[in-house]
Structure 1
């Protein structure tokens, strides 16, 4: 007979990301962030390869990354709206954790499984931050798909990639609920 955890299940059934642009200080201290990072590091990891690492972005790093996003957007000849959107994520940030997909050589564990593990870290980090009472949001955006932005801004080089930026802070407003998937439409039951 299973040993249910109703509080955990209720949390998962009602969890809701908070838009990053609505998150304000205060943000978690290093001491408050450590158990959130620890929870994320317990994600499924076939082969115990740890095909991911974490970069905590805070303070003046946001201004530097915002300027770099604008510079890279202009170098890439993006339109003003794209540049502004890429810059805004960093202009508005106060604390974020970049989950870096860091593939490992393995004859047994395919890269796709390693990539899924990095995605699992993103979701675990997001949920751990929410469970700890913070607002949190998982984003990417065009800058993290630009090799020069990654190299200059985060010291990330191929074959590494950003799986996600998890913004964490104090929510200034509770967002309205949004439509959820229709389980009957997306679920198939196989019994034979």
Structure 2
């Protein structure tokens, strides 16, 4: 049985059988996007600055950390050799102007072989296709990233019903071992709340 964890909206979904989903990103600005144009552009700027800072850091272990930004909420993903590397990546994220919150899902001590990376990429392509072709879902509002078979879903949902459809669709993609949702509903008060750094690893 596959498990789905939701750290955003409270919706529970389980799926039996193979599930695969990988990094899917719906980028850009459209009339259907729940973020404002200003927020979308700001998120792009934050993402570019953060990626540049991670690459420029003295510690090469953080250069490959994957980042997603939605309304100033940063999601950090990937694997690093040491817990200290995950802490450093989070510290860098908090240093970027405009960041409201940081969710650190980096796996210390983990590794990904070339074969695993390619597998995750393949799952990502399948997930992108599934998002675009599932009725009742607007893919522009979601990003999907897969690390070691774990699907991380991020973005905004207009209501619980659509989020249910998204998580169910993602849980049926071949190859996904677990789905973790960081999606917030559009009326969630946490959307524009600025949190304080709480780095404790």
Pairwise TM-score range, normalised by the shorter structure: under 0.3
With normalisation by structure 1, the TM-score equals 0.25
With normalisation by structure 2, the TM-score equals 0.24
Higher strand share: 2
Higher helix share: 1
